[in-house]
Amino acid sequence: MNTTASSSGPLAGTRFHRNSAGVLCCEGRPLTEIAQAFGTPCYVYSERTLLQAYQQFAAAAAEKNALICYALKANSNLALIALLAAQGAGFDIVSVGELQRVLAAGGQPDRIVFSGVGKADSEIAAAIAANIKCINIESEAELHRVAEVAAGLKRVAPISMRVNPDIDAKTHPYISTGLKENKFGIPMDQAEAVYRQAKAMPSVLIAGIDCHIGSQITSLSPFLQAVDRVLALADRLAATGIEIQHLDLGGGLGICYDDETPPTPAALLSAVFDRLQQWQQTRRSPRPEILFEFGRAIVGNAGVLLTRVDLLKPGPHKNFAIIDAAMNDLMRPALYEAWHAVVAVTPSGVPEATWDLVGPVCESGDWMARDRRLALSAGDLLAVLSAGAYGMSMSSNYNSRPRAAEVLIDAQGQAHLIRRREEFADLIAAESIPDYLRK
Ligand SMILES: *Cc1c(COP(=O)(O)O)cnc(C)c1O
């Protein structure tokens, strides 16, 4: 087939290509056919693109006593979890709902780590009962809570402390998590004291140290700074007789949305393993297992959001194109002013103009892209790129909009519906009108 691959930008290295007629395809399947079959807005994921991204991490971690976890909150569709579980991935979860998703999709409990600043007692109990690998503790108060819940179940909970290394990940403030003003983790200078408390508790077992400094990080140095601080803590703990079994270095590797050039998975992991190698030479204890928790870098560029131009509203100040995908479908622009590339699926004959692409939701914050040079007509099909991560998983029913369909394209170009479009009945399924309000 005569297809053209992009050499840079969000589609580089993916299975999304234009065919000889200029139509954007996934595995050779024109996205026009997907829109026809499943409607819009619609998330389309490429199985091979997802697996290639995961396998880059897995290959870089091979023979290193390391576990690549997938951070479920980036995209928690069961089919995607099942694909990764079949590869032997671990999973980073932040709620009992995510635990249930991993188990429902066939993931192994002993490869699950549980992160998050506010875990409910019932969530902690469910995690312990499921025999997950580790609970990442984010505060002294949470340590006591986990110890109590475990004691109540007559169990010993494996734990690590998520430390806050106070490092600027140089990313958007809302996705920066490793600065001391962020709510996440235990401050470095308190970590030893909390570990000492944990050591005295019979219902917890100290398994590791955990950190996660932010998301969409596009340079190596914040990761390496965090590694150094975690290793220094491991040394201080070892000096007080606390040996840890694993180091969880979190996720956060960025992707290309526009023209960013983040380190490749291989470059990041080899830089980290080099540091660890040097450090290991200075100590006698066994080498700890290394965990990572990547979300965006695994799924981000494996998905696009298909949307149709509903109508055009040109004006003297701004040209608006109203599209059928809105902030409830893809929240990142409204939430972080995130930039997504938007491309026409089919080449257009009309002249280019500068457009703001906006959704139908009643909020001025409901925009997808601003000031884009595009050749648009009503009815055109567009693809919002890099929409695989924090797209569907952040979607809502705001404005009583049913959530979009999700479609997986396999390596042969076959399309599989992996989440049907919601209907009105789904919107009201959990609601009821009390009898006294009924006539
Ligand atoms: C969100 C999150 C991740 C994944 O972040 P990405 O930027 O998607 O890789 C990993 N660990 C924790 C604790 C998180 O909260």
Q: Which residues pair with 372 in a beta bridge?
A: 355
Kindly report, residue by residue over 353-405, the tens digit of the pLDDT. 999 999 999 888 999 999 999 999 999 999 999 999 999 999 999 999 999 99
Asked if the structure places residue 356 within a domain, the reply is yes
- Ligand 1: list residues with CB < 6 Å: 71, 73-74, 92, 115, 212, 215, 250-253, 293-297, 389
Which pLDDT belongs to residue 2?
44
* Judgement on whether residues 141 and 289 belong to the same structural domain of the protein: yes
Question: Domains in the chain: how many in total?
Answer: 2
For residue 425, how far is its CA from the centre of ligand 1 (angstroms)?
33
Asked if the structure places residue 419 within a domain, the reply is yes
Task: State percent of the chain over pLDDT 90.
Answer: 90
Asked whether residue 3 carries a pLDDT value surpassing 70, the answer given is: no
Residue that finishes a domain, picked among 248, 273, 294: 294
Asked if the structure places residue 434 within a domain, the reply is no
Which pLDDT belongs to residue 181?
76
- Cβ atoms of residues 19 and 347 within 8 Å: no
Host domain of residue 365 = 3-46+301-428
Helix (H, G, I), strand (E, B) or coil at 436: helix
Confidence of residue 1 (pLDDT cuts 50, 70, 90): very low
* Judgement on whether residues 152 and 267 belong to the same structural domain of the protein: yes
> Quick one: which atom of ligand 1 is closest to the CA of 252?
7
Which pLDDT belongs to residue 133?
98
* Judgement on whether residues 270 and 358 belong to the same structural domain of the protein: no
* Judgement on whether residues 146 and 286 belong to the same structural domain of the protein: yes
Rg for the chain, CA atoms, rounded: 23
Please name the residues in contact with 146: beta carbons below 8 A apart, sequence gap of 6 or more: 119, 124, 135, 137, 157, 159, 204
- Give 356-368 as a DSSP string: EEE-SSSSTT-EE
Kindly report, residue by residue over 60-116, the tens digit of the pLDDT. 999 999 999 999 999 999 999 999 999 999 999 999 999 999 999 999 999 999 999
CATH number of the domain enclosing 259: 3.20.20.10
For residue 389, how far is its CA from the centre of ligand 1 (angstroms)?
11
Residue that finishes a domain, picked among 245, 265, 294: 294
Euclidean distance between CA atoms 374 and 357, whole angstroms: 10
Asked whether residue 4 carries a pLDDT value surpassing 70, the answer given is: no
* Mean pLDDT taken over the chain: 95
> Quick one: which atom of ligand 1 is closest to the CA of 217?
7
Instruction: State which of 84, 161, 212 you would mutate to test the pocket of ligand 1, scoring each by most atoms of that ligand within 8 A of its C-beta.
Output: 212
Euclidean distance between CA atoms 367 and 327, whole angstroms: 7
Number of H helices, E strands in the chain: 12, 21
Confidence of residue 154 (pLDDT cuts 50, 70, 90): very high
By annotation, the residues acting in catalysis are 362
Euclidean distance between CA atoms 151 and 327, whole angstroms: 44
Pairing type for strands 204-210 and 157-164 reads: parallel
* Judgement on whether residues 311 and 388 belong to the same structural domain of the protein: yes
Kindly report, residue by residue over 170-181, the tens digit of the pLDDT. 777 777 777 777
Asked whether residue 39 carries a pLDDT value surpassing 80, the answer given is: yes
* Judgement on whether residues 335 and 384 belong to the same structural domain of the protein: yes
For residue 393, how far is its CA from the centre of ligand 1 (angstroms)?
13
* Judgement on whether residues 288 and 307 belong to the same structural domain of the protein: no
Helix (H, G, I), strand (E, B) or coil at 418: strand
- Cβ atoms of residues 219 and 263 within 8 Å: yes
Asked if the structure places residue 101 within a domain, the reply is no
Closest of 350, 351, 330 to residue 339, by C-alpha: 330
